[in-house]
Structure 1
Amino acid sequence: MSREFRFGIVAGLAPDAAAWTLTARHAEDLGYSTLLVPDTLGTMPPLLAMTAAATVTTTLRVGTFVLAAPYRNPRLLAHELAGLDFLSGGRLEVGLGAGRPAAEEDALALGMPYGTAGERLALVRSVIGEVREAFSASKTTVQRQGPPIMIAGAGPRMLTLAAEEADIVALAVQADTPEDGLRGPIGTLRDLAGARFDDIELSMNLLQIGDEPPPWVPEGLRSTSAQAAAILRGSPREMADTLLRRRDELGLSYITVSGFFADALAPVVGLLAGR
C-alpha cells in the first residue's frame, strides 16, 4: 500500500523576524506538512528558526535539512532537540547528514574538527543514539519514542546507516540525475533495509518548478533537461500525475522544495497532500 503524500518547504532566510514567521504561517496555510531549515553559516541558525516557526503555527511540523553532525556535540544537541520537541508540541523532525560539500569550511569557521568521512558517519550515528536516549528519558518531550529521523544520502555507507536507523531517507543525488538514476540508490536501500524498507518514508527535494530556474543557480549550471527528476514541469495536474507515477514506481511520497517555489507547487500540494 502506498504512503500518503507529504510536502515540505526548505527555507532559512528572511529579511526580518516578521517575514520569517509569515513564511511559516503561509506554508501551513498552503497545506505543506513541514518547514525544513538548512544548516549553513549563510542561513538562520536552524534550531532558533524552527522554534520561532513552531510558535506561530499549529499543525506545521518543523525540521532540519539537514543538520551537519560534525558541527555539534551529540549529547548537547539531543538536549536542545528535546526542548524543541516540547516547545513545538511534538511537531519536530530531525534531518541529519555528514556534511554537504562546503561543510568543511563552516566547520573550520566554527572551530570544529571536520574529521574523515568515517568519523563524520560515526557522529551521525552517535547523534541518533543520543537523541533517542534523550527523548525517552525526558519528562517533557511529546514524542517519547523520539522524533522522526531523516538521513540524507545516496552513497553506500550513508544508505547503510539509513537502512538501519532512518525513518525518512532523502535521496541526495545530483540535480541533473534523471528519473532512472533514482532507481539505483532506492534499490540499494531496499536491499540493505530488507523487511524494514516498507517502514521508511522516501523523500526527494525538487530544484525547480516550471521552466524558470531559481535565481541563485549560476547561469552556467542551469539545467533545462526534461530528464532531470529534480525539475518538475507542466500543469498542476501533469505535475501531480508525475509524482503519482513516481510514488507507484519508486515509492517517493515525501516531496520537498525550496520556499522560493512554495506558491508554484501549492496547486499540486492541494491535489495530492494526504492522498
Structure 2
Amino acid sequence: MSLERSRSARRIGVMFHRDLPPEELVPFAREIDASGADDIWVVEDLGWSGSIAAAATVLSATERVRVCIGIVPAPLRNPALLAMELATLARLHPGRLLVGIGHGVQEWMAQVGVKAASPLALLEETIVAVRGLLAGETVRLDGRAVHIDGVSLVHPPAVVPPIVAGVVKPKSLELSGRAADGTIIIEGRRPQDVREAWAHIERGRAAAGAQRPHELVAITHLYVDDDPVRTQDVMRPYIDEFAEFLGVEKADVNVAAGTPESVAETVEAFWDAGATTVMFHPVGDDPVRSVKRALAALGR
C-alpha cells in the first residue's frame, strides 16, 4: 500500500547547500519556487545555519513550494520547544511545511555535550512527542530519554506538518515506519537500496498498525553537464566522501550526474523503486542551472 502511494506522488525537492552563505538563501529560494520544483529543503548541521530560521525565511520569501527541514538533530532540540517553533511556522504557512528529525551525527552531538545514551529511544520519543503536541494533544511521556508531564500547545496548527525521520540503519528504518510520517534516505544510495529500506519501514509500520501514508525521500547529489570529464571531476569528492561514510565501493555510490537525460533516468529509477520524493543536492558552481536543466528533462 505505501509503495503504491509513493509511486503516485513523484515529487522533486531541492536542497539549499549548507556551504552557501545565508544571504543567498532568499534569491535561491525564489528561483527554485519559480522553477517547477515541489519542495525546498534547508539543513541543520552543527556549525552551519539553524534550520528553523532558514525555513521561516524561505516560507516568507516564496508562495508555492513546500519547505522542508532535513534534518533537526533530536539531541539538540527539546521536543516541546521544537513543537512550539514548528506550530508557529505551520499556522503562518498552513500546508507548506515538512519536518525531518534524526539522530544527529554522534561526534557532533558529543562536541556540544548532548550525545544520547540511547539514540533510538531519543529519536522515537521525540517524534512521538512532537507529533502529539502538533496534533493538539496534551502529552504525557515518561520515556527512556524524553520526559513531558502534561504539556499542550495553546496554538496548535490546523494543518499538522508531516514529521519524517532521517535515518540509515535497519533498526532506525523500522523506527521510522512505527513512529514517523515518512523517511529520508541519505545521498549515495541506489534505487535498490530504496526498495530494501521499504522492507524495513513496512516492518515497523506493520508492528505499529500504521495506516497513514508514508513519504519516502531519496536524496541524490545533482550535477548536470554534457562534458563527462568535467562531471567526473566535480563529482569525485562527493563519491569519495559517501563511499567512506556508507562503507561501500565508489562504484556503488549513486549520483544524478551527467547529461539531463541521464539525470532524468536516475530520478525515474528512484521513483520506480518507491521513492515519493527525489531531493536534489545540487553541487558545482551553478547549482540552480543544474536544477533547471534536470527539471526540464523531467518535463517540469
TM-score by length of 1: 0.80
Report 1:116-155 matches (<5 A): 116-121=118-123, 122-133=125-136, 139=155, 141-143=157-159, 146-155=160-169
Q: CA deviation at 1:196?
A: 5.0
Percent sequence identity over aligned pairs:
21
Partner of 1:189: 201
- 3-state SS of paired residue (2:136): helix
Matches within 5 A, 1:236-247: 236-247=260-271
Measure how far apart 1:262 and its partner are.
Answer: 4.0
Displacement of 1:30 after TM fit?
1.6
| 1:228 aligned partner, one-letter code | V
Task: Report if aligned partners of 1:98, 1:117 keep a CA contact under 8 Å in 2.
Answer: yes
CA distance in 1, matches of 2:211, 2:267: 20
- Aligned residue for 2:61? 56
Distance 2:68 2:279 in 1: 12
Letter in 2 for 1:92: L
Residues 91-141 of structure 1 show CA distances to partners (whole Å, capped at 9, x for unaligned) of: 111111121344314542xxx453322442333433333333369965573
1:168 matched to 2:182: yes
1:9–1:262 contact (8 Å) kept in structure 2: no
The question of 1:254 aligning with 2:277 is answered yes
Pairs within 5 Å for 1:1-275: 1=4, 2-11=7-16, 12-15=18-21, 17=23, 19-108=24-113, 112=114, 114-121=116-123, 122-133=125-136, 139=155, 141-143=157-159, 146-172=160-186, 175=188, 177-194=189-206, 199-210=213-224, 211-212=231-232, 217=237, 221=241, 225=250, 227-229=252-254, 231-248=255-272, 250-260=273-283, 261-272=287-298
Report the Cα offset of residue 263 of structure 1: 2.6
Distance in 2 of aligned mates of 1:222 and 1:115? 26
Bigger shift: 120-129 or 78-87?
120-129
Q: 1:166 to 1:105 in 2, by over 3 A?
A: same
Q: 1:220 to 1:13 in 2, by over 3 A?
A: closer
Deviation at 1:48, TM superposition (A): 0.8
CA distance in 1, matches of 2:55, 2:128: 23
Distance change (3 Å), C-alpha of 1:218 and 1:16:
closer
Shift of 1:178: 4.3
- C-alpha separation in 2, matches of 1:101 and 1:73: 17
Q: Which secondary structure does the structure 1 equivalent of 2:90 belong to? A: helix
- The Cα of 1:197 is off from its aligned counterpart by 7.9
- Deviation, 1:222, is 7.5
SS at match of 2:80: helix
Amino acid corresponding to residue 235 of structure 1 in structure 2: T
Task: Kindly provide the amino acid, as one letter, of the partner of residue 189 in structure 1.
Answer: I
Which runs of 5 or more structure 2 residues have no equivalent in the other structure? 139-151, 225-230, 244-248
State the shift of 1:72 in Å.
1.4
* 1:78 alignment partner AA: A
Q: How far apart, in 1, do the equivalents of 2:297 and 2:195 lie?
A: 25
Tell me, in whole angstroms, the C-alpha distance in 1 between the residues paired with 2:210 and 2:120.
24
Q: For residues 202 and 262 of structure 1, what CA distance do their matches in structure 2 show?
A: 24
Structure 2: which amino acid aligns with 1:269? L
- Deviation at 1:259? 4.5
**In the TM superposition, what whole-angstrom CA distance separates every residue of 1:168-214 from its partner, at most 9, and x where no partner exists?**
211247x3x44434432222223332485882222111124352466
Instruction: Assess, with a 3 A threshold, how the Cα gap between structure 1 residues 5 and 41 changes in structure 2: closer, same or farther.
Output: same
Q: Distance in 1 between matches of 2:102 and 2:194?
A: 19
Q: How many residues align?
A: 264
In structure 2, distance between residues paired with 1:216 and 1:42: 25
Q: After alignment, is 125-134 or 55-64 more displaced?
A: 125-134
